Each structure stands twice: as C-alpha cells, then as structure tokens.
Amino acid sequence: MDRPKSRLIWLRNPNVVRLLRGLAAGSIPLTHDGLHQETPWRTVVHLRDLLMDSGVLPRVDRQLLLYQRWLAERLATVEDPEHRRLLQHFATWHQMRRLRSKAEKGPLGRSQTNQTKQEISQAGAFLARLADRGRTIEHCQQADLDAWHTEKRATRRPAQTFLRWCMKTGRMPRLALPPQVVSQDQTPLHQHHRLAVLRRVLNDDSLPLRARVAAALVLLYAQPVTRIVRLTANDVIDDGTTVTVRLGDPPSPLPQPVADLMRAYVQSCQHQPYASSRSSQWLFPGRQPGQPMNPVSLQVHLREIGVPPQRGRTAAIRQLVLQAPAPVIAKALGYHDKTATRLVTEAGGTWSRYAPGDHSQ
C-alpha cells in the first residue's frame, strides 16, 4: 500500500468512523442512494470510490454522481419555484440523458460536467434577468436575448443550450441566437520542432516514463489528453512482435522505439500498489480508487517535460492528414470525419475528394 500513514489517518477521521459504523450496523444502506444522503460529501465520495473499486458497490460513473449532488444543491438555492421546476426538467430530460449516454461509452471527464454546471448556472441567471425585465420564458422576445448576450458574451454562451432546448420543446418562442465564434487553435508546432521534441522524449531516460508514453501518443498519433487518460490496459495489444494501441479501428501499430517504451511502461504498471485493484484497468490510473488520471494533471506532466499538448496534437494531426485520406485517419485515430476533413483544408491537403469505403473491388 502506498502512503500507509495517510490511509491510517483517514480511517481515524470521525466522519469516516461514523460512516463505516453506520454501514456495518445497517443504519446507512449499503447502496448509492443510501450514501447519497450522507455528509460531508468529499468523505462520502472517497468512501464510495473505495467500495466501487473493491466490488462492494456496482460501478457508477463518479463524475455523474458528483454532478447529481451539485445539481440538488444548486436547485435548492433557486427561489422562484417555476424557475426551479424548469431547470429541473432541463437537467433531467436533456443533460442527464446526454451524460448517461456518454458515461455508457466511457468515464466522464471533469470538463464535461463542468460545462453542464455552467449551462445550469447561466440558464438560472438568464431566467432571473428575464424576470427583472418583467417577462417569463414563454413571453421572451428577441430584444431580451440580444441584451443578454451584449455583456460578457463568452460567459453567457453556455445558456444557449438551455435556450435551444426551450425553443425545441415549445417553452419559448423561436428566436435567433448569436452565432458561435470559433476560436482559432494555437499555432501548431513546426514539423521540425515536433520531431525534435519527439526525438528528445524518446531518448531521454531521465524523464518520467508515464509522461514519455503520453507525449508519444500526442506527438505521433494526435491524441488529446482527455482520450489518453481513458485508455485501458486492454487497449494495448502485444503479440510479442508488434505492439498496437486501440485508438480507433483498426488498432494503430507503434514503431520502435515507442513500442519498447510502451512495453516498459505497461510492465511498470503491473508492479504498482493498485495493480491488484480495479484501478489497474486504466493505462494512466489516477489517485482516486478506480478512476483514471485527471487530464489536467497529465497536461501538467507533459508541459513539465517540454511538450505543449494542444500545439503538439494540432501539428501531428495536420501532418497525418497530408499523408493519408482524412476518413482513413479519422477512423484509425478516433476522430470525427468532419473534424479530419476540416483539418485537411486548414493544412492545404489534397484528399478532400477522397470517397471512403472499400476500394479493393
């Protein structure tokens, strides 16, 4: 066990003792709903993670549970009952359905639930502003929307998800929303710079092995850190001769020396303290039981070794779409076809008329 002293200190925490005694005595049901009613929430969340990691509780997405708790607390602060009811309906029938659908495909990231929180917060602020103007959502006018977006436009943009939902479900008139301004990516690394950074990462044994493997996935295969942290040990396939990683379909082969680097990293993970728990399923396990590494933390590790994640990924994908048709790259690396096609245009590629499909006949 890593950090045994801190674990013992945690077990002596009065709240932990109370929760464990309640679970043992049966006064606290050993269910997600039972724990959902308990406080303090940070202690409850960590205990629930441990129970899920050990198989005592069925696995439920951690970020989804945290969002449900946040939502209940946030709605309790809304004074207007009609506003509270409308926000509850929006969260239940739009947000939760979307989050559950994504959670079925893989663990939710913190950025996804943060965006969802912003949608609720800004939707509540819009309803309050509308009430100050003497109107309800049913009688909202174009001037109300224009006034809302005049100030702090970037901050208030998350409310547009709520507004579109209201229009679609007939809760407000169909009005025009301001177009979304797509911000340009940071200037990608020059091709020579990208290869120089990659060469240094692969050859410098003094750098942390985990960061080197992640850097290779960014600089070679244009993987975002949010997707890297969701890779599992089963996504790395080693038949003794070739090492492939399941980024899309088919799995992508790793060239030397990246293949040996991945082998060494996978082997090192098998000797970690969490190797016998469910946390071992993650290729980049986090500090919380059963959870992958926080993508923000991985970004920090990459920057510490001189790898800019966003610029490196952009440079890699723009180079790749110049070497093969965008649909092929998209399928192999897990990108959307439209994203890959847009990148071809930005990079000045010539594959824009390539028709995907079976060309062997």
Residue 301, helix vs strand vs coil: helix
CB burial of 178-187 (b: ≥16 within 10 Å; e: otherwise) equals: eeeeeeeeee
Question: How does residue 278 score in pLDDT terms, banded at 50, 70 and 90?
Answer: low
| Per-residue pLDDT tens digits for 58-113 | 888 888 888 988 999 899 999 999 999 999 999 999 999 999 998 887 778 788 89
Bridge partners for 252 per DSSP = 245
Q: What is the model's pTM?
A: 0.62
Tally of structural domains, the chain:
2
Mean pLDDT in residue range 240-253: 91
* 12, part of any domain: yes
Q: Do residues 158 and 196 both lie within one domain?
A: no
Q: Do residues 37 and 159 both lie within one domain?
A: yes
Mark which of 168, 199, 231 sits at the end of a domain: 168
Q: Do residues 293 and 220 both lie within one domain?
A: yes
| Per-residue pLDDT tens digits for 123-181 | 999 999 999 999 999 999 999 999 998 877 778 889 999 999 999 999 999 999 987 65
Q: Do residues 87 and 199 both lie within one domain?
A: no
Sheet holding 252-253, edge to edge: 236-238, 243-245, 252-253
Query: What DSSP line would sit under 65-87, residue for residue?
Result: HHHHHHHHHHHHT---HHHHHHH
Mean pLDDT in residue range 317-329: 81
| Whole-number pLDDT of residue 345 | 65
- The overall average pLDDT reported for the chain is 85
Range of the domain at 281: 191-347
